[in-house]
Every structure is written in C-alpha cells, then in structure tokens.
Amino acid sequence: MIDPAHRVVAAGLSTRCPTCDRVYPALERTCRDCPDALLRAEYAQRSFEPASDRGIFRYVDWLPPAFGIDTQIGPTVYRAEALAQAVGINELYVGYNGYAPEVGAFNPTGSFKDFEAIPTLLFLREHGVQSVVLASAGNTARAFAYAATLLDFTVHIVVPERCVDLLWCPVEPSEHVRLTVIQDSADYALAIECARLIEQEFGVFGEGGARNIARRDGMGTSLLEYARVVGAMPHHYFQAVGSGTGGVAAWEAGVRLIGDGSFGGRLPVLNLAQNAPFTPIHDAWTHARPIRPFDDVQSQVRRIDRIGARVLANRNPPYWIAGGVRDALRATRGRTYAVTNRQAREAAEMFCRVEGLPIGTAAAVALGALMQAVGDGRVRPHESVLFNMTGNDEALVARDYTLHPIRPALHLSAEQIASNHVTTLYRHFHE
Ligand SMILES: *Cc1c(COP(=O)(O)O)cnc(C)c1O
C-alpha cells in the first residue's frame, strides 16, 4: 500500500530499462514497453566513494534507500592464503557473507540474504510503503523476519509446511512478522501463488525477487567490498546460484565500478555454480536447454530431492529476461558449473580444515566449482578470485544466540489457494 503523503522522491536514484533505455521512478518494477526486462538502478553518484560507516551502508550511495542505519550487517572480504594454496592459486579472497565474528562477519541470519532485507525495507518505507509480502523456502524468510523485527515493518511471509522448521530468528520475532503456512505442502509454487493473492487482493507490496533493485544492489556489495579492500576488481567471481540474482547483482556492481574510472574496463568473469542433478541455469547456458518451470514438474522435483543445497532449487530463474542471468553471463564471458553433493562435501571439509570455519552447503557448491575450474584450467594460478561464501546457516549463530522459532499466524490449505478462496485471508488481514 503506497501512502502518497509519505512519497519521497529520492533525487539520487532512478531506474532504467536495459532494452529501450527509458527512465522510470525508483520504485517502478516493469517497463511499460518491455515487460521482459529487469529495470536497473541508476544512481546520481557515479564515483566509488565508500562512506566511513561500518556494515553495508558504507555503500549507501549505491543502494536504493537514501539513508542507511547503523548496522554490522554487511559484506566481509579477506585474503585466504592457506585456502588459496590448498586450491592451487595465488590470490584468493573469501567473501565470508555469513555469521562468524572471528572474521568480522555479523550477518545475524547466517547468509547474504541479510544484505537484501534491510535495504529493501528502508527503501520501501522511504517511499511510503507499509508492508511487504514474499514467498520463501528459507534464507530469505529468515532475513526478512529479522529485518521486520528490527525495523518495525510488517512482513508477510508465505512458506510451504515442509520448510517451517528452517525458519528461525536470532531475536524474538515481533508481531510485524506474519507467517502463513501452506498445509501439507512441499511445493514452493503454491507459496508463490498465495503471496501473489495477498499482493493483489490486499494491496500488500510484493518483495519482487529479481525485480527488486534493493535485493540486487544489496547482494552486489560483496564485489564493492572486494574493490574497497583490494583496490581492484577480481578476475573471477564464484557464487552458487538458484535464481542467479546474485550473479546479476555482481555484474551490475562491476559495471558501476567501471563507471568510476579507476578499476579498468574488464568485468570479473561470472562463475555460477549449481548443485547436480538439479542444474537448470547450467543446462541452459552450456546446452541451450530451455528452462521450463512448469513442465515435467515431477521429474524436476525428484532431482531437487537429490540435491544437498536446497536453497539452490529454483525452477524459474530470471534467465532469459533482458538484463537477467543470460545477459550477465554473456557480458562477463561467464561460465557455469554442475557440482555434485560429494564434490560440495569435500569442498566444505577442505574449507573447514584450512580456514577453521564452517560453510553452508550452497557455498560449498561454489567452492567445488572453483576446484573444478582450477583443475581444468578455466582459472589459472595467477588470476585473482573472489569466492562468495554466501552463507553458513545457523552453525555459529546458534553458538552465540538463542534461535527463536517463527510461529505461523495463518494456516491455509492448498484447496483454499487453488480455489482463490480468500475469505480466510481477508479476515486475517483486516482483523
Ligand atoms: C539465496 C542463496 C544463494 C543463491 O542466490 P541467488 O543469487 O539468488 O541464486 C546461494 N547461497 C545461499 C546461502 C543463499 O541463501
């Protein structure tokens, strides 16, 4: 719901369509003429001038909210000598974007989804939006539950029942967190459908996924942190992907750094890793196989059931859309990887042995890809690498915090959603 009285115009920000170049106000999500394009944020500030703040709002000039808050959430980049040696390259930097105070990483829900949630809520609030809805199976939901509690901003979260156990919050979640659970469901598609109903029927603003510029530019701060710490861009960027939005974000951040003028003209090569046997982005990029989220769903679900890194199970990534994953791979001469559970496990064990810190199953997929790439010469020993360690889950958060469960406010059945039976919803949202 947008309250016009609160609408502020952030003079420093507009959005632009990558296809037709038309410019839109900051909050716009879709180009009038090119619905299949991701609008990109365009900031008045062109030079790279990190502020003296700690945390993610060091980069407030290149984030959608006009004003940040004081927070320790944000990217951490350090040079990992021992890991580099173990992998067989000279210059390896880890973006430890989970929770490990040992290396200065204080992301309270344990993943780089924390980079997305607070900028999104601050940005929406500056524009008079009062509540937001999202469907998520895990990390995104946790990050938004925490941010909702911290900022007193209402967030409606919809999850399939099977994912409820993954939801926790490192502080007691406040009444601003409204959790809807789809009963007897393991299917994320139903949760998405329910979130769409809440958006349409009740005027709650949609989080937007890949179309949310605060999500992308929040995630893109990993590369900015590398640029600040190292004073250059890496040759290679490695990340595990489900939607690939983080890859698009790294590309966009690289374009902004080139625009600054002091980082040369070459973008980091995007190296995007997926967990075999569910690898739709890899199959599309390497075998030109079409991505068909709603075809042969049973066989897709069977493959999803076999991957260790469930957060990477996205059947409908923004791949073909203009300004999306395919364009990001093209612009950066990128590569994709299929990494088995076993390769990921070995990578995680190596990281833990060498660096003394745990990494999550998704991040281990990216490290497995780096090992493949060094093995087959796609990354050469003298090339610099940023390994985006996207999350270490609750491993260390549970050591330092009490993990609070997030209690459902509403249970819905699949039938209620399938039949657009929204009266239950209606009563809930208007009580
Ligand atoms: C969401 C997530 C990813 C994948 O991010 P996308 O760029 O959206 O594909 C990778 N690792 C972790 C830990 C995540 O939570």
Nearest residue (CA) to ligand 1, atom 15: 139
- DSSP state letters, 141-194: HHHHHHHHHHHT-EEEEEEEGGGGGG-EESS---TTEEEEEETT---HHHHHHH
- Closest atom of ligand 1 to 113 CA is 15
CA of 269 to the centre of ligand 1 (A): 18
CA of 391 to the centre of ligand 1 (A): 8
Q: Which run of H or E residues covers position 269? A: strand 269-275
Ramachandran region of residue 129, left (φ > 0), alpha (ψ -120 to 50) or beta? beta
Query: Can you give the pLDDT at residue 2?
Result: 45
- Closest atom of ligand 1 to 391 CA is 13
pTM for the complete prediction? 0.95
Mean pLDDT by 10 residues, the chain (431 residues): 43 93 96 96 97 95 97 98 98 98 97 98 96 91 97 95 88 96 78 89 92 98 98 98 97 98 97 97 95 88 91 92 98 98 98 97 98 98 98 94 94 78 63 54
Query: Can you give the pLDDT at residue 8?
Result: 44
Nearest residue (CA) to ligand 1, atom 12: 390
CA of 240 to the centre of ligand 1 (A): 6
**Amino acid at the residue 59:** Y
Query: Can you give the pLDDT at residue 192?
Result: 87
Cα separation, 138 vs 179, whole angstroms: 12
Nearest residue (CA) to ligand 1, atom 13: 391
CA of 6 to the centre of ligand 1 (A): 33
Query: Can you give the pLDDT at residue 6?
Result: 41
Ramachandran region of residue 399, left (φ > 0), alpha (ψ -120 to 50) or beta? alpha
Query: Can you give the pLDDT at residue 9?
Result: 45
CA of 242 to the centre of ligand 1 (A): 6
- Closest atom of ligand 1 to 314 CA is 9
Pocket test for ligand 1, best of 222, 241, 278, 361 (most atoms within 8 A of CB): 241
Q: Which run of H or E residues covers position 288? A: none
Sheet-wide strand order for 205-206 = 205-206, 131-135, 154-160, 177-182, 408-412
Query: Can you give the pLDDT at residue 427?
Result: 64
C-alpha distances out from residue 212 to 12, 15, 245, 385, 390, Å? 17, 11, 10, 27, 19
Binding pocket residue ranges, ligand 1, CB within 6 Å: 111, 113, 139, 240-247, 311-312, 360, 362-363, 390-391
Query: Can you give the pLDDT at residue 5?
Result: 38
**Could you give the domains of the chain?**
77-110+214-396 (3.40.50.1100)
